[in-house]
Amino acid sequence: MSATTPPDRARLFALLGRLAPLIFLLALVIIFASLQPRFLMPLNLFNILRQVSIYGIIAVGMTFVILIRGIDLSVGALVAMSGLCAAVIARGGIEGRLVLSADGSGFSWQLAALAAILAGSAAGLLQGMAVAWLSVPAFVVTLGGMTVFRGLALSIGNGGPISGFDEAFGWWGRGMIGPVPVPVLIFAAVAAIAWVVLTQTRFGRAVYAVGSNPEAARLSGINVSGVTIAVYGLIGFCSGLGGFVLASRLNSAEAVAGTGYELTAIAAVVIGGTSLQGGTGGVGGTVIGALLTGVLLNGLVILNVSPYTQQVLVGLIIVAAVAFDHFIKRQSR
């Protein structure tokens, strides 16, 4: 008697599809660990996590966007722009051009962080409005946003970096709690909150509904435009937070920061099993996707693979992961 009647087979493949990114991640870890024992040292593992954390925060926001069938190409530019906003506040102005505080000293990290997050969120909300109300495709809106925000970042810093912040500012990027880097904790907190929002709240359900079938969502009383704008605001928030943490970690903010983050974040989401067609996936997958990307890059470095070859491999693995995902989904139907 065969245990794989058609529904069983479909269920097996459905389970495989959900677990695929995790299996893939574990396989990579085992491969790298066996090739180079140094890979598994705690220091290296926290190193990976620290590297992952900033684009991981953004990837969490990107999960929401991709769940509603959207895309956001502006996140890298937003990271740079909001990082510079934080830097300007932290330094109390721009040297030689702008003085914000009476005595010329900087403001607290709280105000700096707020500036970064507000800048990011406002930019995200604006893009969301363009997508929802002007019906411009998200790809186009955020492609435009990408150069607009990069341009604004260049204007703020006048092309150069703004650096040198106080101890409290720097803690958010370089500090440790026990053995754990602070950015990793921020990433974990953002992911956990996002998970609760997506799985436990009305808004989370609306996100899935809009991505799964926007017409059905609208017909059921969901404010599709409102959800869209909120989701782009959310990824703006995540980018602003990421910009702050990055500026803190580097003790410097500059207009070229965050270059390429949009693709890394999208890759993490897609590798994590969230469908570009919207409606299926989640934050758990994205976290694994982000870790997988980080492990891959770190492992290749440790194995002394040339940086050029690394790029080739990462690209191929992204395509392979998505192809595999589609294959599994077809089987489980």
Partner 1 sequence: MTSASSLGGVAQAGAGPDNGPAHEFFVPAPHEPAGSAPAPAFGPVILEAEGLVRRFFGVTVLDGVSLSLAAGEVRALLGENGAGKSTMINLLSGVHQPDGGQLRLDGSPVRFARPLDADHAGISVIRQELSLFPDLSVAEAIFAGHLPLNRFGLVDWPRMRRAASAALSQLAPDIDINAPVASLSIARQQMVEIARALTRKARVVIMDEPTASLSPNEVAHLGRIIADLSREGVAVLYVSHRLDEIRAFCQTYTVLRDGKAVAGGRVADTDIPALIRAMAGREIAAAQKAPPAPVADQGTGEPLLQIRHLASPQGLRGGQRVKDVSFALRQGEILGLAGIVGAGRTETARMIFGLDPVGQGEIRLFGQPVRFASPAAAIAAGIGYVPEDRKGLSLLPGRSVHENFALTGAVPARFGRNDRRAEARLLAGFWQKLGIRAASPGAAITTLSGGNQQKVILARWIALKPKLLIIDEPTRGIDVGAKEDVHALIREIAASGVAVLLISSDLPEVMSLSHRIITLREGVTSSDQPAAGITAEALMTHMTRHA
One-letter-per-residue 3-state SS of the chain = CCCCCHHHHHHHHHHHHHHHHHHHHHHHHHHHHHHCHHHHCHHHHHHHHHHHHHHHHHHHHHHHHHHCCCCCCCHHHHHHHHHHHHHHHHHCEECCCEECCCCCCCCCHHHHHHHHHHHHHHHHHHHHHHHHHCCCCHHHHHHHHHHHHHHHHHHHHCCCCEECCCHHHHHHHHCEECCEEHHHHHHHHHHHHHHHHHHHCHHHHHHHHHHHCHHHHHHCCCCHHHHHHHHHHHHHHHHHHHHHHHHHHHCEECCCCCCCHHHHHHHHHHHCCCCCCCCCCCHHHHHHHHHHHHHHHHHHHHCCCCHHHHHHHHHHHHHHHHHHHHHHHHHCC
First to last CA, the chain: 23
Shortest spacing between CB 229 and partner 1, in angstroms:
15
Shortest spacing between CB 158 and partner 1, in angstroms:
44
Nearer to partner 1, 94 or 224 (CB): 224
Nearer to partner 1, 44 or 213 (CB): 213
Shortest spacing between CB 135 and partner 1, in angstroms:
16
Nearer to partner 1, 23 or 216 (CB): 216
Shortest spacing between CB 251 and partner 1, in angstroms:
38
Dig out the tokens for 294 from the structure. 């980080």
Nearer to partner 1, 10 or 100 (CB): 10
Nearer to partner 1, 222 or 295 (CB): 222
Shortest spacing between CB 56 and partner 1, in angstroms:
25
Shortest spacing between CB 325 and partner 1, in angstroms:
13
Shortest spacing between CB 217 and partner 1, in angstroms:
7
Shortest spacing between CB 125 and partner 1, in angstroms:
21
Query: Which pairing describes strands 180-181 and 176-177: parallel, antiparallel, or unpaired?
Result: antiparallel
Shortest spacing between CB 195 and partner 1, in angstroms:
13
Residues that bind partner 1 (CB under 8 A): 7, 200-202, 205, 208-209, 212-213, 215-223, 275, 279-280, 333
**Cα–chain center distance at 266:** 7
Nearer to partner 1, 52 or 206 (CB): 206
- From residue 110, how far is each of 100, 107, 119 by CA, in Å? 16, 8, 14
**Cα–chain center distance at 331:** 30
Nearer to partner 1, 19 or 45 (CB): 19
Nearer to partner 1, 200 or 309 (CB): 200
Nearer to partner 1, 208 or 244 (CB): 208
